[in-house]
Amino acid sequence: MKAKQFRELSAEELEQRQRELVKEHFDLRIKKSAGKLDNPVQLRLIRRDVARARTILREKSSQQEGARNA
């Protein structure tokens, strides 16, 4: 997913998507250790998506805090 697509999601949807990505990353790591991972590039892509989701969640929470303090 692109960062633009993540930004279009609400905070709740973004948290849900992050949980799904973390679970998917875990499953891929297990497959890799068992030697059954078909495409090892998937691990890197999922890890980057998790990082994007966490970054945008942090941006949204800091924006909400800034709005409350203003």
Does position 70 have pLDDT exceeding 80, yes or no?
no
Q: What is the pLDDT of residues 23-69, one digit of tens each?
A: 999 999 999 999 999 999 999 999 999 999 999 999 999 888 888 88
Q: Smallest Cα–Cα separation from 42: which of 55, 26, 54, 25?
A: 25
User: Helices then strands (H, E): number in the chain?
Assistant: 3, 0
Do the beta carbons of residue 57 and residue 17 sit within 8 Å?
no
- Domains in the chain (CATH in brackets) are 3-69 (1.10.287)
